[in-house]
Amino acid sequence: MFIRALFTISLLLSSVCIKAAQAETLHRFSPPIVTVDELSYDSNGHLAENYLLISSNPSCIDVWEGAWTVRRDFAERTMVAMSDDVLEFFESSLPAAQADFEAENAAKRGDLSMERTPCNAICIDRGVERQKLEYVIPDKVMLASFADPNDPAEQDRLHNQFVSWLEKTVMQVEIGFINWTPNEAKIYWVDKLRGDEEILVADLLRRERNTQWQTTTLGHHFRVVDAITNEVIGDFVARYPAIHVLGQPTDLEGLHPMTNDEVGFQVKNTFVHEWTRANRVTRTFTSLGFSRGRLPHDLWASIAVSTLRAKRIQ
């Protein structure tokens, strides 16, 4: 009898904990933002954080939460629920091709005629100007929906779709390292989930030609250590795509002086090569022809962010 009572109490406590956790999850995303002005900006009007804006439907939030928690190492991006008004703000960036793809899949599943619940998401990156915020490159927009939020098969489908997009697009980032310090160095990944365990990922030789690139996840921590003295040269957190230059070249190191004869030889070889290559080119023209045109807004916004990051690293 006593054991049965304990078991009953345990079940009740578990139920309370689960409901509390669900309430906490929904509370974190409610109320959803109704305007992009509620996001965080720096003093220059640039986005101060990396954001993932998701549909505010509770069923969608549950699926997004489940996909996000698959990886315990996700960091440096804030997930925020958005209202329909915010989604309309990004309307110019919603890729029609992806919407068609979702509709095509719905037709294959036979649920095209059913009312579907949207589970859209938009990934916006730190550094974007407020005036360019609405222009998002297509890869960073997810258009998804489901017909029955209680259908486990639908939930699994969306879950797998979201996990793949999070890992390959939303959270993936590249950082590079160039070593101009006196000695060779080693690059370690610092595993924060295992007590800051250092895992060697690359040897960093000197000079620009030995630049090391790491495809990693937002929030991952890297430590560069002098291979001779074991002194820590620098600690770096992957907050956005970047290249880190360690030390400075000495004197003419990194330069490649050439004599006048060598310069003339290189120029002549380049001219012959390009002239020969030009004869093999098949010229095609768009309707724009030789006229000047504007870059797409989303591409220009992405270039502006990259330029801003490069200036800040310098």
Strand partners, 117: 146
Taking only the tens of pLDDT, the chain with its 314 residues reads 444 444 344 434 433 343 333 333 433 455 789 999 999 999 999 999 999 999 998 888 999 999 999 999 999 999 999 998 898 888 776 665 455 555 555 555 555 545 677 888 999 999 999 999 999 988 899 988 887 878 888 889 999 999 999 999 999 999 999 999 999 999 999 999 999 999 999 999 999 999 999 999 999 999 999 999 999 999 999 999 999 999 988 876 766 777 888 888 889 999 999 888 878 777 676 777 777 788 888 888 888 888 887 776 55
For residue 101, what are its two tokens?
């793809």
pTM: 0.75
What are residue 139's phi and psi, to 5 degrees? -60, -20
Residue with tokens 């190492």: 73
Alpha helices (runs of H) in the chain, residue ranges in sequence order? 2-28, 58-68, 84-89, 96-109, 152-165, 260-278, 297-313
Break the chain into its structural domains and give their ranges: 13-170, 174-247
CA-to-CA distance for 264 and 259, rounded, in angstroms? 9
Return the CATH superfamily for domain 174-247.
Answer: von Hippel-Lindau disease tumour suppressor,  beta domain (2.60.40.780)
At position 241, the amino acid (one-letter code) is P
Whether the upstream peptide bond of residue 58 has omega within 30° of 0, thus cis, is: no
